[in-house]
Amino acid sequence: MTDWKTGFLCLMTRPREPLFYPKYGGQTYMALPEHFLTDRYRPLAPMISKRFGSAPNHVVVKSIDPPDFTYALEIPRNGNYNTFSPKHRNISGKLVQDFMNAPDPEILLSMASYARDRLNPLLFQYALTVALLHRKDTHDVPVLSLLEMFPKRFVDPLLFPQLEEEGFVVDQPQRVAIEIPMVYSASEELLEQRLAYFREDLGINLHHWHWHITYPVEGPIEIVRKDRRGELFYYMHRQILVRYIAERFCHHMPPPTSLDNLREPIPEAYFPKLLNSALNRTFAGRAENAVITHVNRPNDEDSVATVLEIENWVNRFKEAVTNGYVLAEDGKHVPLDDATGIDLLGNVMENSLLSPNIPYYGNIHSMLHSIIGFVHDPDNLYLEGTGVIGDIATSIRDPIFYRLHTFVDDLFEDYLKKLAPYTSKQLGYPGVTIEDVSVQVSNGKAAVNRLLTFWQRSQVDLGVGLDFGPTGNVLATFTHLQHAPFVYRINVMNDSQKVRRGTVRIFLAPIYNGSGKAIQFNQQRRYVIELDKFTATLTPGINNIVRRSDESSVTIPFERAFRRQDIATMPGTESFRFCNCGWPDHMLIPQGSPHGMPYDLFVMVSDYRQDAVNVNFDEHVDCNDSHSYCGLRDQFYPDRRTMGFPFDRVVPKEINHMEDFARSFSNMKRTVVEIRFTNTTISKV
């Protein structure tokens, strides 16, 4: 391994320790030029070299003139860093640009080494991660997850004294894992706490964070302008929302109400009991019936807005949908056509650099997060930081996230409802007939069309993020939802005398809502959960397609999200970079119920000639396996159809049920599957 690759790992390890402090059990020492040391340590340079330089492995950092990071110092090193803040976004975008401009990895390592101990740790790690993800010459440098770098942002802080005690007192082989409690943010008497296993799931929160660093809103335009990024913003968040809604139905709860009236009190309280790692203060809690008025924190956040201002932005967004065009800054009309309209609206809503008129349409999505995140201290009178809703790494934990995104999704749906229903030519595939569809747990012992869920205990290593803590592995055990692996069996008849190709699209949809009432199709189509999408070669006659659940185009495997990254495990491929973007496999399907909850399983084989784009990829190679939510690196999104096809548009009024829709076309099939939950816990092998 080259020195600079090891150096980048050291930059991400124990982010609040001085960089010269030996890493990886005292075995690796970053040999810094003396002028790279901060003012506190520069007078101690000889002592530092003598005391720590005895480590067996040295990474010699090349000396360069100190870069000018004055602009980044506007975010205090021990202050709050908020990716929803316009000011902080702008600063982080400049820092990413500086890192991207480095001529080679060695110079980048030098620039980052100079910056690391001077800048806000969260700002620095965000910018470095984005740069490493997007530079072509750092393709084989693994990127640590935020859980590894800042575990206190994800795990109950009461755990850390126990972790440190175990690590310091007990030698490596005899250490035991410390248990992360499933219930620690609220009492089980609280109805919403039934959903804590979903909202506070480590994998889901990491997915949301990693998606946003894969698709940053500011920085070099070449990394912001990704194919269909605005549409991905809409679709990925819709899928998070519908997965949450499905879990609510499992617990006899209604879907979240839209946050469409910002002047009403917020009945949902949330007290996260997590530390904001840069401050070592807890994320702020929110009491019941908090009232949003404004946010006015220009000094530390540059978050300044009123409810009226956000309402005006929303009205202009709605006006664009009604008129069928977005107004550009130069006064031109940018049409919202069928192919690109949702992508354009996604960029406007997220307020990325690709928004055509930021002054006019404002900053709806980010400012909604910020204004709610500071509802407890909008004027900074009490010097309180944001709540978890104001941070991309933690916002999914808060129940208000789902009301906020119900509101956002409704705005997108207003546009989608204006589009004409798909035609028979767009939906059909003449000569292709799905004869049968079934699913079964992989071991073959369960009944056909019955899926099984349960609790699983797994371990994660938090040692990388324990600043000045014990060396080696420091393990924590957490309990999460899991499903038994299963396979799809799809029998497809190709009536043609030639080989054809099709795109197999698999969706799951709840049949009944939380009250046990059947959901009408025009609402059900908004609740569909994408499970998989892949291409299949159809030979003349019957084709028996078998597909495993762990091959899903939506998910990444458990090890991808939670495997510890260090010098010993550094891979020689790209498998731990862009590939960390993806929904966690253990949350692919909803919990179901102890007696079995029915769902519609919908399978469609669409005409590949209408689906194909100018890209060839192997879903089993590199980072291509979670492309439904994350796209492909440096390539077009691998599906010409709009995301969510064929459920993203309204249907004729006579179609009231999923069965009606599927029966209309030979290349579609609907079957009912049951998800049965067993309230037992097993340990991951």
Catalytic sites, residue numbers: 350
Alpha carbon distance 176, 23 (integer Å): 22
Residue with tokens 């205090």: 76
Q: How many CA atoms lie within 13 A of 93 on its CB side?
A: 20
Instruction: Specify whether the CB–CB gap between 462 and 163 falls below 8 A.
Output: yes
Tally Cβ neighbours within 10 Å of residue 187: 7
Which pair of tokens denotes residue 108? 């980048």
Which pair of tokens denotes residue 238? 């819709």
Three-state DSSP at 660 gives: helix
Which pair of tokens denotes residue 366? 């980010």
Tallying the residues shown for the chain, one arrives at: 685
For residue 539, the one-letter residue type is: T
Which pair of tokens denotes residue 98? 């500086």
Residue with tokens 């600079």: 4
CA distances (Å), origin 681, targets 164, 251, 376, 457, 650 = 27, 19, 38, 7, 41
For residue 522, the one-letter residue type is: N
Residues 6+ apart with CB under 8 A from 680: 454, 455
Q: How many CA atoms lie within 13 A of 273 on its CB side?
A: 14
Residue with tokens 């690709």: 354
Alpha carbon distance 255, 241 (integer Å): 10
Phi, psi of 482 (to 5 degrees): -145, 155
Tally Cβ neighbours within 10 Å of residue 339: 8
Phi, psi of 481 (to 5 degrees): -65, 145
Alpha carbon distance 588, 507 (integer Å): 11
Which pair of tokens denotes residue 272? 């996260």
Q: Would strands 450-461 and 668-683 be described as parallel, antiparallel, or unpaired?
A: parallel
